[in-house]
Amino acid sequence: MAVSEVLERIPVLSGVPRTVEELPGGLTNRNYKVTTPSGAYVVRMSASDGELLAIDREAEHANSIAAAQAGVGAPVHGYLPGEGVLVVGFLPGRTFTDADLRDSANLPRVAEACRRLHAGPRFTGDFDMFDIQRRYLEIVRARGFRLPPRYLDFMPDVLRIRRCLATRREPSVPCHNDLLPGNIIDDGERLWLIDYEYAGNNDPCFELGNIWSEADLSLDQLDLLVTSYYGRRLRHRIARARLLGLMSKYGWTLWASIQDGANETIDFDFWSWGMEKYERAVAEFTGPALPRLMEQAAGAD
């Protein structure tokens, strides 16, 4: 269906003068900025099989509303159930880049935005990368998609990490779970978080570890991010965030494998994107720090 036909079915955009501009980025969606006399909006149209990727569009809609109520997400102005079309307010500002997240001066600001989100209304559903990674693995094997070399060799380590983290459970909070730099907008005064496809209640250390992983921050920067979030240095939470950041790399690798095998609508090298994550995960699995990290994560400060 043409974009113009979709827009006519959205009350806030129907029957009014408008300009439409496709926005760059987005690996599972097509995004359009629509400007009308009453304001500017972003229309997100799904371009992937959400079910394969563990995306629940109904939950995304509800969670986007909750994030707006928390004061960290864009206001929600429309939704077409069953069609993967969501309309939110356009947030003026600059989209973060990898360089912005690697600038240590920004990490306390990122931690503050996460705290605002995590203190907001509970989300619909939970997010657990251990469960999602297993689901992704089942899909990859059942459909014959590519699996990175030695991928299954590290499953025993995953089980040990999961057991280790379970000895000291953290209360779950509403997490974004996919804070790529492109999902952070700086309006000059504060940071906003956008795109709640994978949002769900989760361990806050996953949020922090995933940020560390996605931007390939240094260990010192992970330390700063976690310390800024909690207000003091907690060794067990830094270790926990690093272990969950490892699980982020390992799990999202299979997301890339599924996209590589199933997505024919987006021109992007998903396999190379995923292999970069996988190679960093292998370095963590095979490095000397893993046993010590599990001991620190399970122990007291």
Which fold would CATH assign to domain 95-298? Answer: Aminoglycoside 3'-phosphotransferase; Chain: A, domain 2 (3.90.1200)
Residues 6+ apart with CB under 8 A from 257: 136, 140, 145, 146, 147, 148, 270, 271, 274
Q: What is the pLDDT tens value at each position of the chain, 301 positions in all?
A: 588 889 999 999 999 999 999 988 666 678 999 999 999 999 998 865 556 776 889 999 999 999 999 999 999 999 998 888 999 999 999 999 999 999 999 999 999 999 999 999 999 999 999 999 999 999 999 999 999 999 999 999 999 999 999 998 889 999 999 999 999 999 999 999 999 999 999 999 999 999 999 999 999 999 999 999 999 999 999 999 999 999 999 999 999 999 998 876 677 899 999 999 999 999 999 999 999 999 999 987 7
Look at residue 88 and give its three-state secondary structure: strand
The residue among 234, 205, 49, 51 whose CA lies nearest residue 128 is 205
Q: Report the relative pairing of strands 191-193 and 173-175 from DSSP bridges.
A: unpaired
In this chain, the answer to whether the domains covering 3-92 and 95-298 adopt an identical fold is: no
Which fold would CATH assign to domain 3-92? Answer: Phosphorylase Kinase; domain 1 (3.30.200)
Specify the pTM. Answer: 0.93
Question: Which residues on adjacent β-strands are paired with residue 29?
Answer: 46
Q: Where exactly are the structural domains of the chain? A: 3-92, 95-298
The residue among 200, 195, 184, 177 whose CA lies nearest residue 251 is 177
